[in-house]
């Protein structure tokens, strides 16, 4: 198996990777966004305002809002070019340099001759960013779109704003399509918070890093050293020869997923130590876990790859 974050040195830091402010279409000023996330117990956020001309191509400066218990990572939600449905690409870029060159994206419409979504994503990744396909269900992203987005580190498996706003917040189908094609992408849960509706404090990542600094967090994100959650905590995952063992907060269901329709599942009450046999998933090239609590909240591990 590939390595997983639970065996790495350091600790888990809670963060939101997708957030908006009054620098684009959010309701709150950057300082208040940062204050609220710290007050809610987060260790870091990325303020990712919409990188279009209408808002002046903002990469919001959140450096003044860092302190000894809270940090920020610069970033933006990038837009350029049309997807297959004719709508504009939405690409999360966490860890952008402040001088990242804008595309010709004046507004939220796709225009002929624009830089393509895959091209701006590659530029962002080359510039040092952690790149994720944002809210694929909300965007109605096609599988063909996903196939050409070759710079993505991750897919948003859960977008809280899209869940609360229109019940289109999943990324499972796109994620597993890419995994089945051999793409070693990870998954992330986010808020996509605008604070105009209850779109905040609902989805986050838990990043394993030696310290709560932008550099350490960004390196861990790129390495896949994190898990994602809407509620449950995962303390330890041990991948054995014939099955996987999980230590977690109280859960009612644990699911092991892999290539194809087969799963390994255990249901119970207040389960905190769980073992799932691989069974028919023993030959799957990748495996991942979903933990569900009594309130229906979920946590997801990143995929691990066998024999690598």
- State pLDDT tens for residues 108-167: 999 999 999 999 999 999 999 999 999 999 999 999 999 999 999 999 999 999 999 999
Kindly tell me if the per-residue pLDDT of 3 is higher than 80.
no
pLDDT at position 4: 76
pLDDT bucket at 269, cuts 50 / 70 / 90: very high
pLDDT at position 2: 55
Q: What is the mean pLDDT of the chain?
A: 97
The better pLDDT of the pair 2, 280 is held by 280
97-104 CB contacts, 8 Å cutoff, 24+ apart = 97/59, 97/127, 97/128, 98/59, 98/61, 98/74, 100/51, 100/59, 100/76, 100/124, 100/127, 102/51, 102/53, 102/57, 103/51, 103/78, 103/79, 104/53, 104/80
**Cα–chain center distance at 4:** 16
Q: Where exactly are the structural domains of the chain? A: 5-226, 234-305
For the chain, what percent of residues have pLDDT higher than 70? 98
Mean pLDDT of 210-233: 98
CATH of 5-226, one of 3.20.20.140, 1.10.510.10, 3.30.470.20, 1.10.3720.10: 3.20.20.140
Give the list of residues 6+ apart from residue 80 with CB closer than 8 angstroms, or none.
88, 89, 103, 104, 105, 114, 115, 116, 117, 119, 120
CA pair distance 98, 180, nearest whole angstrom:
35
pLDDT at position 7: 87
For the chain, what percent of residues have pLDDT higher than 90? 97
Kindly tell me if the per-residue pLDDT of 308 is higher than 60.
no
Kindly tell me if the per-residue pLDDT of 307 is higher than 80.
no
Kindly tell me if the per-residue pLDDT of 38 is higher than 80.
yes
Kindly tell me if the per-residue pLDDT of 1 is higher than 60.
no
pLDDT at position 306: 84
Domain 234-305 has CATH 1.20.58: no
The better pLDDT of the pair 108, 2 is held by 108
């Amino acid at each position: 198996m590939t390595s997983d974050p639970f065996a790495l040195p350091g600790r888990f830091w809670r963060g939101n990777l997708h957030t908006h402010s009054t620098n684009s279409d959010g309701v709150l000023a950057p300082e208040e966004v940062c204050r609220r996330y710290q007050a809610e117990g987060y260790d870091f956020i990325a303020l990712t305002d919409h990188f279009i001309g209408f808002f002046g191509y903002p990469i919001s400066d959140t450096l003044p809002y860092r302190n000894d218990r809270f940090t920020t990572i610069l970033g933006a939600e990038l837009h350029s070019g049309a997807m297959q449905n004719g709508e504009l690409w939405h690409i999360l870029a966490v860890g952008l340099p402040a001088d990242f060159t804008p595309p010709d994206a004046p507004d939220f419409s796709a225009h002929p001759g624009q830089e393509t979504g895959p091209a701006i994503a590659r530029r962002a990744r080359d510039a040092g960013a952690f790149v994720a396909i944002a809210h694929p269900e909300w965007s109605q992203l096609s599988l063909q779109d996903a196939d050409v987005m070759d710079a993505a580190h991750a897919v948003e498996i859960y977008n809280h704003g899209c869940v609360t706003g229109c019940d289109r917040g999943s990324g499972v189908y796109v994620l597993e399509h890419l995994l089945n094609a051999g793409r070693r992408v990870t998954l992330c849960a986010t808020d996509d918070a605008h604070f105009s509706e209850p779109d905040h404090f609902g989805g986050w990542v838990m990043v394993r890093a030696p310290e709560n600094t932008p550099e350490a967090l960004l390196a861990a994100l790129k390495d896949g050293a994190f898990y994602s959650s809407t509620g449950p905590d995962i303390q330890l995952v041990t991948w054995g020869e014939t099955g996987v063992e999980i230590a977690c907060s109280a859960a009612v269901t644990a699911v092991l997923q892999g290539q194809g329709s087969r799963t390994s599942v255990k249901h119970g009450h207040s389960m905190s130590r769980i073992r799932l046999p691989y069974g028919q998933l023993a030959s799957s090239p990748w495996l991942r876990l979903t933990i569900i609590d009594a309130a229906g909240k979920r946590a997801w591990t990143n995929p691990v790859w066998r024999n690598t």
